[in-house]
Amino acid sequence: MLLANQMTLQAGIEATPGTDPVLTATAGMLAYEVSINPAAGTFADDRSASADWGADLNEPNEVYQTLTFKTPLVGSGAAGTAPFYGCLLQAANLLETVTATTKVEYATQNWSEATSKACSIYFDWAGVMHKMPMSRGTFSITGARNGKIMTQWSFTGLAMPAADAPFPDVKSTVAALMRGLPMNKTNTTISLHGITPPVESFQIDLGNVVAYTNLPNSEIIEITDRIGTGSIQIRKQPIATFDPVARYKAKTTGPLSITHGTIPGNIVKIDGLLVQLGQPTLTNVNGVLCDNIPLRFIHASTGNGEIKLTVQ
């Protein structure tokens, strides 16, 4: 009997996309709600003209793997050291810049087949090892009161045969990782367009378009576009303080800044410099009037720069 609640997850950057870096126990990930599709793709219904009823064999056109999971939005424990999910951010086409003993920044950038990173992901579920080379993906970050801020990851990787394998011994690595903090007044500050209202919840979606392509002489996972979006729910402010409808109509852009954590080594900042507000709606949350505001992350006039994460 294979037990579904036994699983491990590892990930690491590939020096050459598609080439297994042979991950060790130090690549262990703290992950939640892991789900894999080991045979994603399309197939052809090859039912031919026949005098007989019944099915013909389907023909797989392409086979790849997809994986989704969550990780807490945390630091590494030491300022200037990349967090355990840093390889995932790079495989989502964010550029990593390390300032020793101070911070690690991850910024949006254009796709380059020559320089954009990919990672290998190992997922051992109940003693069955699934390896996903050339994994690339996207993510969204969500926070709500009374809960931890989490990152939801979605990765696509090349298909590999699964194999029976003992669990890698990642226990000590995972046990040492930061566990995350609840979103509240003590741990979190959020500003939107220059105001700091009480925030019920937010979501930021990087919006990568991840494409698997299988052509003669080429099998590749690529990121072909990116449109960052999101939403925020705030307690309604006096119109004189903040008028989201007027800002929507005027196409006003402004900054969104989220800082989570207070102790160096476990502080994560999310910044969008040019955030446009969408069509706001009103809602009742436990008797309190709130604005639900869609967000759109606009690139800088020089390109990129919509979203930046700083771990410090």
Question: Is residue 54, in this structure, part of any structural domain at all?
Answer: no
- Residue 187 is classified by DSSP as T
Question: Is residue 187, in this structure, part of any structural domain at all?
Answer: yes
Give the pLDDT score at 1.
Answer: 87
Give the pLDDT score at 115.
Answer: 86
Question: Is residue 132, in this structure, part of any structural domain at all?
Answer: yes
pTM: 0.95
pLDDT tens for 201-253 read 999 999 999 999 999 999 999 999 999 999 999 999 999 999 999 999 999 99
Question: Is residue 89, in this structure, part of any structural domain at all?
Answer: yes
Q: Considering its fold, how many domains does the chain have in total? A: 1
Question: Is residue 50, in this structure, part of any structural domain at all?
Answer: no
pLDDT tens for 290-311 read 999 999 999 999 989 999 999 9
Give the pLDDT score at 37.
Answer: 98
Structural domain range at position 182: 7-40+60-311
Q: Which residues pair with 64 in a beta bridge?
A: 40, 158
Give the pLDDT score at 49.
Answer: 86
Chain-centre distance for alpha carbon 28: 17
Question: Is residue 179, in this structure, part of any structural domain at all?
Answer: yes
Question: Is residue 1, in this structure, part of any structural domain at all?
Answer: no
What are the residues whose beta carbons fall under 8 Å from the beta carbon of 127, sequence distance 6 or more?
A: 2, 6, 164, 165, 166, 167
Give the pLDDT score at 133.
Answer: 98
Question: Is residue 53, in this structure, part of any structural domain at all?
Answer: no
The segments of the chain whose pLDDT lies below 50 read none
Q: Which residues pair with 140 in a beta bridge?
A: 152, 205
Give the pLDDT score at 58.
Answer: 87
